Structure 1
């Protein structure tokens, strides 16, 4: 069973740097280690299978396995060993390499080999075997996962930490990094990078400590970030608490989404780990480490809320609920507006605008509600705010043009906006085919602030707009104004070309 929280999406303006760093670090270590060990193993295998050792050692090891009931044919292996290793195809070479590694990790057989019980002193090739075996063992090395993975029976203090950054292969890495990405970025955004990294390391240490306590005699190295990632999952459930969030779950071939309080996922995750541990006792997955991570993550969440609540960004955690409430109130306000219940529509949109002043959709709907009372101070205030917007696209320009018309009606005989804002509006109106209001603005600016920078460009834009409307008279009038106020402007020459082109 798989349960994955999918409540949040990443805000790349504030990326989860620690989560990305952990993913890149684990990935770089895996691929770097694989490259290093592949080169070392290639040299090791080449030497061994050219040394004459296989027919003295591997052939005896095959007989030992056969006597122990293993499914292996010593005669077939002997025939394979009689073939030049370099001439073998890839599958058969891999088979021999696997046999060698299997033999090297068989403590009982290797003890007999070193005591001279496999290749005995009366063997004609005994001296040759001793020399080659010594040379071979000088080339052998412990894999990085054995050196820096956590082995309970003979662990080193450093491996409590280093095991979290090692993985057993690409599949192991991908599964862990996927969960780290899906869960980690949310926890990092909620706790902040420093507290998040500290919690990641602490839950990883708790996970490996529980694994050590339960399996103190194990000689199998523990590697992987899953204990720490389980800790993040426990933290996720704990800090979200009873807030309802969206989860993806999969049970065999069935999958779906469900909204549920985050906290109930902690016992569900724990139960799933216990179930898998009991039903799959021979699995290589360290379920007990996952349990340690989940439990410690939940405990850390409780401690943070009790003693360091300021470190938890509750606004981030409550964003989904606030957005849902916002959408519900917005729909209600639109219903009021549709039913012509103007006072309630105005009141609801005003409250929404006060809470979300940067939401343009709410701003425009407030404007639409206030249009029913065009003489009010609030209508004029919102109108000015709309006319002061930046980054207006072509789709909303018609609304802006209409709003400017209302503005002129509300302020007959004067345009009280700042000159720079009026210049910007005039260029927009001219560019997108509304020369009437553009002309009103430019005439106002010529009277009030003829020295305003780039006003000649505004006049040229208005002339072009009238040309596109096929209004020769208005175009010529605008060019005349340009000649009157800016006789030395380069824009005048371009405007005269427009008139002389006679494209009406």
Structure 2
């Protein structure tokens, strides 16, 4: 059974850089740090077989597995016993040696009971040659160096184990889930808090695994505990809000909606059930359960403080925003088509308040106000449109609006001196001297002497640059006559 949340899609305009960075780190560690593990294990096997350690350890291993099944009641090890006995019957020395070298609990058992298993001479031989294999090769393998070993727990391995993986299938599976869950949680928490929460979930997951595997020397590796933490955070962030999930059951798959937190006990129940009844699968079920609890618990405990969800996280996705805008915009345009201008004006005003960054809405409001040039609303919209055009570096649009208003609305509600002054400056930048002169004439009628004199000096300087002496002289005379 597989159930994963599928509420959001990736916004590649704001990539999940921390999630992508974590994925890249796992890949680089796997390729460049763990990439030499196979060679080291091969060398360990060759040295192990050359020194005839198999002759000493194989009988002890068979006895060890029988004790595990009979006295420790570890029925999951019965299959290991049967497989090893089959390897001995078939004289498969390499596979026997591999089983012995990779069973770290057995190696600890040998160290604890060496004096009981072998004669003094055998013990000395075993200590000399087995220690050499361990020191030269096995201790340098990544999982034994930086993996989390419950029987020898060290603080730094609570972090390092999260970046190690046991094979291509293991790392690919984890990275897929890391991406599917990570981009949403990163968007909700922000990059820095997300990274801290991710690593903390992995560490807490490792502690839970250690508590249920006390004394074990089998290393734990992989990001699945941290990823389970992301699952716990994901549903805790949404709480009881209904979100979409993807479910896969054998050959059946589908989507369904449910309260987010309602899925948490389902996930936990599955991991705990598998821990008790799935047998020896090599999957760290309690690490997954610990991660789920850690992620949900962190959001529950600190969701109103350092782990608080960003306010904009719950804003709709851009595709949804665009769809809503398109629908409302079409309704407003339909009102214009029916010549219901008052209704259209209210609809466009509501849209403009909701989407102030879309100039087309202001254009429609301006055109609707222009239908009644004798009303003050036309002057307000004309000034807003001129300011918006200037902000978006569209001087032609600003001048066009200004000229239209002079024809239609100026007789009813004249523009202020600032409006004419803006047109003057924009026209001078564009070297549109005809419009600049027209704006200056309007400015003379509305502005104070200081503003008018400064505008006159600007015209003189610009005409002189254009080598239009007669025009420059005209405005110089105006300036000398104190305008």
* TM-score for the superposition, normalised by structure 1: 0.64
Q: 1:418 aligns with which of 396, 409, 423?
A: 423
From the superposition, tell whether residues 452 and 238 of structure 1 become closer, same or farther in structure 2 (CA, over 3 Å). farther
Deviation string 1:439-480 (CA, Å, 9 cap, x unpaired) is: xx5532477666788999xxxxxxxxxxxxxxxxxxxxxxxx
Structure 1 segment 39-438 matched on structure 2, within 5 A: 39-41=39-41, 43-44=43-44, 51=50, 53=52, 69-70=85-86, 74=90, 77=92, 96=94, 98-105=95-102, 107=106, 111=110, 136=133, 138-142=135-139, 143-274=141-272, 276-277=274-275, 280-305=278-303, 307-308=304-305, 311-320=308-317, 323=321, 329-367=328-366, 369-373=368-372, 376-388=378-390, 390=392, 407-412=402-407, 416=420, 417-419=422-424, 421-422=426-427
Asked if the contact 1:53–1:133 (Cα under 8 Å) also holds between the matched residues in 2, the reply is no
Q: Deviations over 1:386-429 (max 9, x none)?
A: 5336388xxxx9xx87x9656532223999443564478x69xx
Shift in CA distance, 378/216, structure 1 to aligned 2, threshold 3 Å: same
**1:319-349 deviation per Cα after TM superposition (whole angstroms, max 9, x unaligned):** 4499376566445434434443322322232
| Aligned-CA RMSD value | 4.8
Aligned residues: 415
Alignment match, 2:23: 23
Whole-Å Cα distance in 2 between the matches of residues 253 and 419 of structure 1?
72
Output the CA distance in 1 between the equivalents of 2:386 and 2:339. Answer: 24
Distance 1:257 1:364, change over 3 A: farther
Return the alpha-carbon distance in structure 2 between the equivalents of residues 453 and 245 of structure 1.
64
Q: In the aligned structure 1, how far is the partner of 2:330 from the partner of 2:380?
A: 22
Is the Cα contact below 8 Å between 1:242 and 1:262 reproduced in 2? yes
Q: Which moved more, 1:206-215 or 1:63-72?
A: 63-72
- Output the CA distance in 1 between the equivalents of 2:99 and 2:138: 15
Q: Is the 8 A contact 2:48 2:97 kept in 1?
A: no
Distance 1:380 1:235, change over 3 A: same
- Going from structure 1 to structure 2, the CA distance change for 1:189 and 1:41 (only over 3 Å counts) comes to same
Say whether the 8 Å CA contact 1:66–1:72 is kept in structure 2: no
Structure 2 regions of 5+ residues with no counterpart? Answer: 64-80, 441-457, 471-483
Give 5+ residue unaligned stretches, structure 1.
79-95, 428-440, 457-481, 487-504
Q: Distance in 2 between matches of 1:145 and 1:55?
A: 23
CA drift of 1:384 comes to 1.5
Alignment check: 8 A CA contact 1:18 1:193 kept: yes
Deviations 1:207-235 (A, max 9, x none): 22332333335443222222222222222
Partner of 1:444: 435
The answer on whether the counterparts of 1:342 and 1:369 sit within 8 Å (CA) in structure 2 is yes
Q: TM-score, normalised by structure 2?
A: 0.67
Measure, in 2, the Cα distance between the counterparts of 1:36 and 1:379: 71
Q: Distance in 2 between matches of 1:70 and 1:455?
A: 103
State the 1:380 CA deviation.
0.8
Q: Secondary structure at the match of 2:138?
A: coil
